[in-house]
Chains A and B, each alone.
Chain A
């Protein structure tokens, strides 16, 4: 019991209150099964993407010793294909009957043919054992690209885990009766929760990128140059769809409904609309899920893919390949963030605890 009875209080700043909400929301996430689930999903996705090529005997780098069967190219030269991608030109060593042949004036590597060309007649080499030794290494950009195709999917999963029911769960689980009668503005509470969801989701995306960096260094000895740029776009995409998830959370009455609607909107409804655009020739630049591809396409920032049209006359249709324009997509994502965050904050503020 108290010694002196009631005490007059001075409240902390809005920022302090927001950070307090964020801290305890994070604590909740860290102790929930969702965090474990999200980490498990990320590790599973990364592991599958990484292991499947290895399981299909397609290593990311290595050394190959290949016996060549030289075929005539001209009266003075012969060739054979190396039958492998991403060969390190400098690593190629050619030997005939066990004796290494110097490259200068004796043989060349044709990257366009992906073949070794020896300056000797094929007939002269008949009966001799011609062997090529070489290293191969997949470019770091290609390595990262195979993972980045799943970046937007993974970001959406994180949002479903950490954002879809962030607001509505307070009402459904009745914890609002504990939190809301406190001297804290609903807007501050909203921002604290939003920040916590963003940090939790971004941590998972960071884990995804971190695993890619580690695997890339181990497997191909380098990291894609534009991976940090890709991460920045991924973070922007994350925060923009988090705003959409919070909007859904502010209008729904139950956690399950909010999670299911967010999941289907991001994984089915918007992608279907996007697909219709690819067939009908309309670039859906305004869809937030379309802008999510920026995390993948930005890896080719120096040779950014351009929209293309593929016609299939025999099939009777045309397929349009659209890529998000970086500038437009950034504007779209920021617009989604501002509009949906503002609406959901307003709805959260007005929503009454009537149950």
Chain B
């Protein structure tokens, strides 16, 4: 037990009838890390999070939170866990203050502490002005911000977040990412699922990818970025290239394929090293192509995701 991470998933399986949503999943998350949990729709991300938060029961396997098996002792396991699963709804007749007081009391907080944390968190999620309004009037974005606030209310050691920026406008998303980065720096362990690869790349130092309920890869975000096969180059031109110029580039060593999705845009499948990439740029200029930009295409994580998920689907 002592070598286990703060979240430890062991051979976790969940069947819905004949469908296996989570398939023998094992994952060990160290204390203080922020783990992005990636996968396409139906990969088993939310199912895994629901098992971790006692919303559904595992068919087999174990899931430890702080060393306590949540499948057997959910109350003790969730004592120091804050969670946002999907977009929760709130009781429409209660205000944010009353809602946080309700949850704080269940979690064993002292009334003075609830009052202090409520003021802090409502300020953090920019809902102070709405603290006495009934939540029934709130927009989806406001509810999502309140959901994040309630997860952090009791200063839990673990935060489990299922698509935490879902429903937020771009500014709200940036604000939540900033909050997550601060929480990470304060030592919280964060396990979050997301569809937004840029968000994961920005906020997480570990990434786990799953598909068909199976873990595809789990490592540090830096290592995974290095593993990503960045072999596609995106080129934006000032003028449309001639047919001759395109044929000349197609004949260049290490160019496997040329795509022209728009008259002034080219995607090159290129397997060469950085030196060959420099020579390729020189060749394009020599072919009288007016190159405006010449960059690897997409995010490292996105490329890796597409490779892994593409292979498994």
Contact = CB atoms under 8 A, between A and B. Distances in A.
Interface of A: 1-2, 4-12, 16-17, 20-21, 24, 27-28, 31-32, 173-178, 180-185, 350, 352-354
Interface size on B, as a range, is 35 or more
A181 B98 contact: no
A355 to B, nearest CB: 9
B106 A183 contact: yes
B108 A12 contact: yes
21 contacts: A5-B186, A6-B157, A7-B156, A8-B80, A8-B157, A9-B79, A10-B79, A11-B79, A11-B108, A12-B108, A20-B102, A24-B98, A175-B90, A176-B55, A177-B87, A180-B53, A180-B54, A182-B78, A183-B78, A183-B81, A352-B50
A170 to B, nearest CB: 10
Given A10-B79, A31-B93, A177-B87, 5 more contacts: A1-B183, A27-B94, A31-B134, A183-B76, A352-B56
A174 B89 contact: yes
Given A5-B187, A182-B103, A352-B57, A177 B88 contact: yes
Contact of B107 (A4, A11, A173): A11
A265 B76 CA distance: 40
Q: Name the prevailing secondary structure of the A interface residues.
A: loop
The 5 tightest CB contacts between A and B, nearest first, are A177-B88, A181-B53, A31-B93, A174-B89, A6-B157
B94 A180 contact: no
Contact of A181 (B78, B124, B134): B78
Nearest to B50: A353
B54 A181 contact: yes
Interface of B: 16, 50, 53-57, 74-81, 83, 85-91, 93-94, 98-99, 102-103, 105-109, 120, 124, 134, 147, 150, 152, 154-157, 160, 179, 182-183, 186-188
Contacts of A353: 50, 55-56
A178 B87 CA distance: 9
A34 to B, nearest CB: 11
Contacts of B98: 24, 27
A351 to B, nearest CB: 10
A4 B116 CA distance: 14
Counting chain B CB atoms within 10 Å of each CB, the highest count among A9, A11, A16, A183 belongs to: A183
B147 to A, nearest CB: 7
A63 B272 CA distance: 113
Given A20-B105, A24-B98, A177-B86, A1 B54 contact: no
Contact of B155 (A7, A12, A184): A7
B90 A184 contact: no
Contact of A184 (B75, B99, B134, B156): B75
Given A5-B187, A6-B188, A178 B93 contact: no
Contacts of A2: 120, 152, 155, 186
Contact of A1 (B81, B93, B120, B160): B120
A142 B215 CA distance: 75
Nearest to A177: B88
Nearest to A1: B182
A185 B75 CA distance: 6
A20 B106 contact: yes
A7 B16 CA distance: 36
Contact of B91 (A1, A4, A28): A28
B79 A183 contact: yes
Nearest to A20: B105
Contacts of B91: 24, 28, 175
Given A17-B106, A182-B106, A352-B55, A6 B187 contact: yes
Counting chain B CB atoms within 10 Å of each CB, the highest count among A1, A28, A181 belongs to: A181
A264 to B, nearest CB: 28
B78 A9 contact: no
A292 to B, nearest CB: 31
A2 B187 CA distance: 11
B107 A27 contact: no
Contacts of A185: 74-75
Contacts of A9: 79-80, 107-109, 154, 156
Counting chain A CB atoms within 10 Å of each CB, the highest count among B85, B102, B109 belongs to: B102
Nearest to A33: B93
Contacts of A354: 16, 56
Contacts of B80: 6-9
Contacts of B77: 183
Contacts of B150: 178
B109 to A, nearest CB: 8
Contact of A6 (B53, B55, B155): B155
Nearest to B21: A354
A20 B77 CA distance: 20
Nearest to B182: A1
Nearest to B79: A183
Contacts of B57: 350, 352
A334 to B, nearest CB: 30
Nearest to B85: A177
Contacts of A352: 50, 55-57
A26 B87 CA distance: 25
A143 B151 CA distance: 56
Nearest to B86: A177
Given A5-B186, A9-B80, A178 B88 contact: yes
Given A6-B188, A175-B89, A21 B55 contact: no
B80 to A, nearest CB: 6
B89 A181 contact: no
B89 A5 contact: no
Nearest to B53: A181
Nearest to B186: A5
A94 B282 CA distance: 131
Contacts of B56: 352-354
A9 B156 CA distance: 8
Contacts of A1: 120, 124, 179, 182-183, 186
